[in-house]
Every structure is written in structure tokens, then in C-alpha cells.
Structure 1
Amino acid sequence: MSALLALALLASTALGAPVSSSNIYAAANWPLPHTVTGDDDSAHPNDATQGWGGIHVHDPSIVLGPDGHYFSFSTHGLTAISRASVAGSLDGDWKILGSVLKGKSVVSSSGSADPWAPDVHKVGSTYYDFYSVSQFGSQVSSIGLATSTTLLPGSWTDHGAILSSSPTAAYPLNTTNAIDAALFVDPKTNIPYLNYGSFWSDIFQVQLSFDLTKANLKTAVGLSFDPAGTQAEEGSYMSYSAAQGYYYLWYSHGICCNYNPSSLPAKGTEYSIRVGRSKAPTGPFVDSNGVDLRRGGGHIVYGSHGPIYGPGGQGVLSGYHGRDVLYFHYVNTTSDPKYADNLKLLGWDYINYSAGWPVLSYD
């Protein structure tokens, strides 16, 4: 029996038979993403680590800089940094500035030289970038931390790993995959949490020390798990809406990468963006049908439609001109008929709420 199958059976036994949410791929009026403008450094079609930043991102993280301009961070390019030239705007023009790291991360457990899935937040006067170091299909992974006070290339200090997973690590790091970190500081209590995970037990959470450098494994709790198939959930992000009174757990579900237009994943197994909500940051999170996310629940809020394919790697900006925004990467099949990874685009839409559930809109 494989480790993944064993975990699926364990989840089904502990929480009851898995239930699939009936709203998956139901008819929806999903908007097109806002089109961003900026640098297009995609002249490296044979090197997946090059050509990122500007309009092309993967697993974007966006934060407002000290100068009033938004900065974006992307997987690849040693964590590519871009800056929107118009203050207070997500539309661009996005200019590539450089990278967070000057070279290979000081994290060396997996041998990877190119960090994934940056998650950048400002806490106090410091910006924290939680990044991932791993290799595709491996559970030998680490979440590293770099800090800066300006966001600019050359200003970052790499502090190395704060969380590492492997089959021989302590629980839950022996059953989870330490990538796709997402910091959440509860606005009610100021307690910092780190949500993480990809496949291997899917999405978990641990509390962090208040200096954000140490994880308390005794606080570990599972937030979301798909007991079917290969447990393709990752890239979580947590937000809170005081107006709605809920914490929201967003995550990407399905196959993220290496699309081939002649043999695409079966419909519904490519990337999509899903969400659950809870009254507490530690869960339990449920979907719009009341199904626990740990039992296969998940309200799909954005998926493939029209020329948009495989949206995911999402994050939330609160208070963007008084509104919440969901940003993400996606394939535009009109401009990129080959579905190339390094041509994925940055997109965003506004978040409205209907009976406490997020609904995306263009305006």
C-alpha cells in the first residue's frame, strides 16, 4: 500500500466516507481576469527558470511596497521581483527588478537552486518572504525565510530553513510536504500561523513564534485533504473578512504544470481555485454545501473557462481601493496555444460576497 493511499484510507476512516462537493464545475459566470501590462521576458523557452517576472508569473505573491507601489514575486528566477510602475495599481506596467536571492538558497536539503512559491508579507517594518525548496515529486522539501525592509533586490537576508519535511522527520513533517508556505497573522489575536502543504496529506497548519522564525509542531492541524486520487491540493492562502465574520482558506486543486495541448488533463483535474470558510483560523473549514474540506469538500470559485485555463497559485489583497482582490496565474490559450509554463500570466479580479461566500467579478 502506498503512503498516499494509506493516508487517504486513514482520512476516510477518521472523518467518514469522502464526499465530493456538488458545485464542482457547476455553471458559473466567472469573469475574465484583468489584463496586466509590463515586461515580457519570455525569450527562454527551453529554460523554465528564466523569463519570469513582469506579466509572466507562477505562484504570485503581491504586497504593497513602502513607496506606495505594488511588488510581485514569482516562482523561478531565484524568486523574481517586479514592481508596478503606477502607484496603487495592480495593472502595471510591471517592471522586472531582479531577484530575492543572489544565488542558490542556503537551504540545501534537496539540492534545488531555484526557490518556488514565494509568500511575502509585511509584519511591523519588515517584509518576510517564505519560499520553498524542493524538486518535483519529492517530499524532501524545506520552507526557507528571507527578510528585507525595502523589497528591492540586494536587500534580502536569507535565513535558511524554518520547516523541513521527509519520510524520517517528526510528525507532521513525515506525512506532509513542506512547500507552498502561507503566513497568516490573525487580526483578532496577532497569533501567527503558517499554512503549507502540497499532495502528501495536503494542507496543514502550524503556529509560528512571534518572531516568525520557528514552528511549533505541537500545534499542527490538518486543514484540507482530498482523499480521492493523488491528493492534488496545494498553494493555500488564508484571508479574513471582518464584514463577513469568516476566515477563508483558499487553495489550488489539480494539475498545475507541464500542460501539453495534445494530451491535456481530464476536464476538472487541471488547476482550479477553491475555498472553504470557518469561524476560526484553525478550522474546521467547510464548503458551500457544508462539506468539511478534510473530507474532500471545496467550493470552486474560479476554474477553466473560455480562453482561461488552469488558474491557481492564488493570493488575496485586502483593502485594494476599499475592496478585496483575488490574484492568480493562468494560461491564456489564445495568446499561448502551447500552454507553456513560462507564458503563464498574472491576473486578478475583485471579490464580492454572497451569503458569506466569495464570488469573483471583473468590476
Structure 2
Amino acid sequence: MKRILLWLAMLACLAGSAFSAHAAITINTSVQYKIKNAASGLVLGIDGASQAAGAKVVQWADNGTTDHLWHFMPMGNGEYNIENMLTHQVLGVSSASTADGAQIVQWADSGTRDHLWTVTQAASGNFLIQNVNSGKYLEVFQASNLNTATIDQWGLTGCACQEWQLVNTQVRPYPLPRAVSGNGRFVHDPYMLRDAGGTYWLYGSHQTLATSTDLNTFTPYTNCTTAQRGGYATCPSIGPDFPSWSGLQTPKGWNNGANTDIWAPSLMVVNGTYYQYYSIPYLPSTQAKALIGVATSSAPQGPWTDKGVVTRSWTSNDVPPAGFKKTTDNAIDPAPFRDASGNWWMTWGSWTDGLHLMQLNPATGLQSTTNTTVYTIARRGSPTSAVEGPFIYYYNGYYYFFAPINVCCNASSPYRTIVGRSTSVTGPYVDRGGVALTAGGGTILLSTHGNVIGPGGGSVFTDAGNNNRPTFVYHYYDGNNGGAATLGINPLGFTADGWPFVIAN
């Protein structure tokens, strides 16, 4: 019956000649679109404007609701994830089906191939939206002209019900990051704090340390002599060669003859003591050869005192060196924090078997000896669906989990940031659609838009200079500056039901 109705609709539309498809086109990522069916004149939306993962995608009259707005996120090779701007889930096929007639739904951005789409232009000037996994095309079920008609996939038929218009709203999907200046703004994996005197301290991978008094201009901070400047490893903020890891760090050939290369530092400040947690790759960073250490200081700039190694990882088949053993995790990207009761914790991890959490001993800053459980709090399905760089921030009764997904680190990066939450520090963490983060869940917080490419590697701090507002700091690759890794800053707002979103500065 479906076939009969579809062919009748084709004849009625006289659309068969419109399907001389052109090559895939490039979509503007800096705006939101309405996706309008050429036959019905109705637009794509979410059934009932539901936040639930798995909710049906339907067509509806264009009444201005946010669930009718979509954002194309580039994934490379002319492929896109298509993000709904109400739910911040992506367009996918139910159960990743490859069958004709399979229902189109929204789902967490879990990295599966049914979430990938290409867009080509037909001779009519309208567009065909093709699923990468199935090879089938987005269409209105039975060529219906009715509100609430469902959207499915089908092989190319020539029906105008498979043609779409992309209506440019001229509205950005996300606010731009704060305008920052100064040579200290170039950073990967930023962490920020504000000291008692009102100075903002910016830490990042590869020995980055910068300061600002106004959150606008960032100046590199260094105790290096003039002769030592010019190479981040010639005057390191940590080390060189702390006793706990001397000789096990990145080889000298990588760092202008020096050993140390600090990755993704994060800090806690407790009773006037600064605890800096940092990671160091061992030899080439493949196969999770790494360690996480902690150092303390009475000042944000150091000098730093070695307090030991928190954890090590070694997934390689190579024989582990002394002090290492075979693991399945990746000991990078540490983020310490305190829970609502004042207990100390650290989350960490990258790719491999997901992201983890351990309790810390406040007396040592190292792993607790009374609670040695390692909790897995997030993972995605495959290495090409990466998740890394976790950060947990407690606010208004929830532990909010932030992490970047996909692959960094260049001007074509599909990196983006997701969020989940839990009422318990150890989880389970779920996204707004109800999907567990251990099952690939995660609500999109921020993704590529225009020159803001691959926003990720982020953390959240409470800005005492701005009414204690939670503020998200991250790096992005600036498409207007050769893809330079650049500091992004956006305050966070919260929905009525307590989900964070980025707002303008």
C-alpha cells in the first residue's frame, strides 16, 4: 500500500525530472535552518517537542517553535550531524536500520553512522538529504501533507516528498565566545581560576600559563629569562624531572631538548594551597602510555612541589616500565573537584575504555586507600567515536559532567562538548534525553559554528568577578586565524529544569 500511495504522490507532484542530483554541497554552519519539505510545505520538528531520546521526527506547520530549528555540524568528507536546537540531539534512524520505511528519530550524539548525512542539490534547486549508513533518503511518510506526518527513509524514488528546502534563519546556533586578546589567549585544554586579588589565571596543555585582570586580555606568565623564552619546555611550570616520574616523560626530541610536556592541567584550591593535577605522556602518546601526577604550591604560579603519581596507564603490548602495569584506561586529562560533602575526587580519561572517577585522600592528594573503587562514568561505542577530557562541576544539587567528543585537534576538527548530570557524584550520569553517558549519551552543549571550530577541552569555574556565575572556558580552532587554538569563554545559563546552556558574554 505504501508503494501505491507513494507512486500516486509522485505522479501528482510531477517531480520525477527534478532528481538529477548534483555533488554534495557545503552547508553554512554559522546559522540555524528550517528544513522544509518541497511537497508539503511543512517543516521538520520533534513530535510533541519532546526531549526524550528516540522521539519521532515529524513535519509540522512552521509556527516558530525551537524544535523546528536545525544546525548542521560538519564531520568531514562532506558529511554532517544534524542537531536539533531545542533538544540538542541529532537526527538518526531508529535502531540504525538500513530498511526502506525506517522511522527517523532524534538521539544522543553517540557517534553511530546512522547519525551521518550528506546533502546534494537536485535539478529543481531543492535538496536531497541522504543517510550515510543506509544510503536511503529523508522523506515524508506516504508523501503526506498532514501535520504530524512522520519522517522515514527510502531509496531514491523521484518523489517531491524527498526534496527539501533549507531555509536560512540568519540566526546563530550559539552565541560567540568572549572577545579576548593577547598572546596568552592561545591555549589547548584550558582551566581557569580567579585568585583572591581578582587576577584570572589560565592554565593549559604544553606549559601554558597566562593571566588577565579583566577577562579580556591574556598575557603569558613566565619566570623564564629572556633567553629561555620561545620554547614551552625550556622553562616548565612543572618539573623538570620530578622524582616521582623522572625519566618516564615525553622524550627530549619532542620538546627542544627538554623532557617535560604537561597535558591538560586542572587545579583545586583548598585552604590556600593550590593542587595542580596534570598528565604526562610516556614516549609517543599512542596506546595510552601516560601518568597523572599532582603538585602543590602556595601560589597559582608555583613553584610546585612534587606530591607523587596519582595513577598510571599502559595499554600497549610493549613491556611496561617499572611502576607501570597493563591497564585499559588512559591516564590523561585529570580534573579534581570536591563533592557537596567536601570529599575529594578526580575524573580522568581519554578514548580507550571511557572516562573514570576515583576518590582522593585529602591528606595526600593521591587515590583514597579506603575507597579504591574506580567508577566508569562515560564511554562511547568505538575509538572513532571518542570521548575524553572530563570535567565535573557541582551546582544546585547536581553534578554536571562536561566532556568533548570526536577527534581534535585542527581547523577541520569535529570536536564538540556534551553534558550530562547526576544527583550522585558516582553516577549514573544521564543526558537530558534520558540516555546514560555510559551508553553513549550526552546532550550537546556547544559545537562548531562558523569560525568557532571544534569547541572542546573545557572546564567550568565560578567567576567571583561576575556574580559567581558558572563560566565555561574551552578552546576552539579559530577559522578566522588559520585554525589557531584559541581561548573561548561563555557564561552558563540553566533551563527551568536545570540543564546548562552557553550564553553571550
Common fold by TM > 0.5: yes
CA contact (8 A) 1:109 1:142 kept: no
Q: Which has the larger radius of gyration?
A: 2
Instruction: Report the counterpart of residue 163 of structure 1 in structure 2.
Output: 311
Structure 1 residues 300 and 178: alpha-carbon distance in aligned structure 2, compared to 1, 3 A threshold: same
Matched ranges for 1:1-363 at <5 A: 22=107, 24=109, 29-38=173-182, 40=183, 54-76=184-206, 79-84=207-212, 86=213, 89-98=214-223, 99-106=236-243, 107=245, 108-112=247-251, 113-134=260-281, 135-153=284-302, 155-167=303-315, 174-186=327-339, 188-216=340-368, 218-242=372-396, 245-257=397-409, 259=410, 264=412, 270-320=414-464, 321-322=466-467, 323-336=469-482, 339=483, 343-354=484-495, 355-363=497-505
Contact 2:307–2:364 (Cα < 8 Å) also in 1: no
Shift of 1:28: 7.4
Identity of aligned residues (%): 29
Moved more, 114-123 or 214-223: 214-223
**Structure-2 separation of matches of 1:131 and 1:345:** 20
Q: Comparing both chains, which one has the higher relative contact order based on Cα–Cα distances under 8 Å and sequence gaps of 6 or more?
A: 1
Q: Paired residue for 1:12?
A: none
CA 297–23 in structure 1, closer or farther in 2 if over 3 Å, else same: closer
One-letter amino acid matched to 1:96: Y
TM-score (norm 2): 0.57
Structure 1, residues 157-206: CA drift from partner, whole Å, max 9, x if none? 123422111248999971111110000111x2111111010011121001
Helix, strand or coil for the counterpart of 1:215? coil
CA displacement at 1:291 relative to structure 2:
0.1
- Deviation (angstroms), 1:125: 1.2
- 2:385 and 2:367 mapped to 1: Cα distance? 24
Conserved? CA contact 2:338–2:344, under 8 Å: yes
Matched residues, number: 310
> Could you say what secondary structure the match of 1:219 adopts?
coil
1:144–1:295: structure 2 CA closer, same or farther, 3 Å change rule? Answer: same
Q: CA deviation at 1:218?
A: 2.6
Confirm or deny: 8 A CA contact 2:312 2:324 kept in the other structure.
no
Taking the aligned partners of 2:456 and 2:222, their CA distance within structure 1 comes to 24
User: Over aligned residue pairs, what C-alpha RMSD do you find?
Assistant: 2.7
Deviations 1:64-116 (A, max 9, x none): 2243201111111xx222111x2xx3222434335422534542435453110
Contact 2:308 2:366 in 1 (8 A): no
Q: In structure 1, list runs of 5 or more residues that go unmatched.
A: 1-16, 41-53
Offset, 1:140:
1.8
Give the aligned residue type for 1:224.
A
* Corresponding residue for residue 4 of structure 1: none
| Structure 2: stretches of 5+ with no match in the other structure | 1-94, 97-104, 110-114, 117-170, 224-235, 252-259
Change (3 A) 1:319 1:62: closer
In structure 2, C-alpha distance between the alignment counterparts of 1:173 and 1:275, rounded to whole Å: 30
TM-score (norm 1): 0.78
Deviation for aligned residue 1:296: 0.5
Contact 2:478/2:485, CA 8 A, preserved across alignment: yes
- Give 1:55 deviation, angstroms: 1.0
Alpha carbons 1:184, 1:239 under 8 Å: kept: yes
Q: CA deviation at 1:232?
A: 1.0
